[in-house]
Amino acid sequence: MTDALTPELRLALVERLTALADDELILSHRDAEWVGHAPILEEDIALANIAQDELGHAGVWLSLRSALDGGSDPDTLAFRRGAHEYRCARLVELPRGDWAFTLTRQFLFDAHEAVWTDAARASTYAPLAEAVEKIVREERFHLQHTALWVERLGLGTEESRRRTQAALDELWPLAAQLFAPVPGEDALVAAGIVPDLAALRERWTTLVTAHLRKSGLNVPATPTQEPAPRTEHTEHLADLLREMQEVASQEEEGVLW
């Protein structure tokens, strides 16, 4: 099946899968920073669940990549790459901030992942279509949960609304990067392998805008600037990786226990 892909398509698909995996892996790490610190126990559990799901999805994307790039090892990619080799979006790199920032970011990301995976069910690349068929079923629980939180925070107290609006104002322009194509993506879209990001962006905007307004929040203006390429990161990514890779970096060969 992978033989059907030209080398160019294969390369582009590796780029897209790496972007998907890195977004989930880094966001998962940021969410996991709340374990033991969330405002209430139920939410500690919920966010840990979401982080675990996203980590599982990162594993799925990296396994798909492995079948295309000659057998890379997902653990090695997660724990041995430097910041310049990561392809995550800036949105997921930013420190976790306050509760409103974390949940608003997760909501915007979940809505993106839900529309992307839903559309990718029609992929002509069977391994991708099969994998998203599974992921889309899990994502729906995230979106329900984070949508409720955005509503609760937006319609809550004056302070919760102020914090959520501030988070939205900071995150909104960054979300555009999630819909920016990776090198070679046009050919992938033409071959029906991945969904067209422009169409998804429209669907995403309609979905989140309606919910944000219902939650009493002002939707910021759509950014006109081109988003940064996924090769350029904020200074926060290197710090995050230093912590995430600290144990692995002390063992050249890695250990099993």
Residue 232 contacts another protein per CB under 8 A: no
Can you tell me the distance from the alpha carbon of 212 to that of 154, in angstroms, rounded to the nearest whole number?
8
The tokens describing 213, both together, are 């307004």
Can you tell me the distance from the alpha carbon of 117 to that of 134, in angstroms, rounded to the nearest whole number?
9
Nearest-approach distance from CB 34 to another protein, in angstroms: 13
Residue 50 contacts another protein per CB under 8 A: yes
* Residue 9 Rama label (left phi>0; alpha psi -120 to 50; beta): alpha
Q: Point out which span in 49-57, 91-99, 171-179, 181-189 binds another protein (CB under 8 A).
A: 49-57
Can you tell me the distance from the alpha carbon of 182 to that of 178, in angstroms, rounded to the nearest whole number?
10
Residue 135 contacts another protein per CB under 8 A: yes
In this chain, which of 134, 162, 213, 242 binds another protein, going by CB under 8 A?
134
CA atoms within 13 A on the CB side of 175: 27
Residue 35 contacts another protein per CB under 8 A: no
In this chain, which of 56, 181, 184, 220 binds another protein, going by CB under 8 A?
56
Nearest-approach distance from CB 101 to another protein, in angstroms: 20
- Total site size for another protein, rule CB under 8 A: 33
In this chain, which of 141, 160, 191, 245 binds another protein, going by CB under 8 A?
141
Query: By C-alpha distance, which of 43, 163, 53, 152 is closest to 100?
Result: 163
b/e per residue, 232-242, with b = 16+ CB within 10 A? ebbebbeebbe
* Pick 205 or 234: Cβ nearer another protein: 205
Residue 71 contacts residue 157 (beta carbons within 8 Å): no
Subset of residues 104 to 123 that bind another protein, contact rule: CB under 8 A: 114-115, 118
Residue ranges that bind another protein, judged by CB under 8 A: 42, 45-46, 49-50, 52-57, 59-60, 114-115, 118, 130-131, 133-138, 140-141, 143-145, 147-148, 207, 211
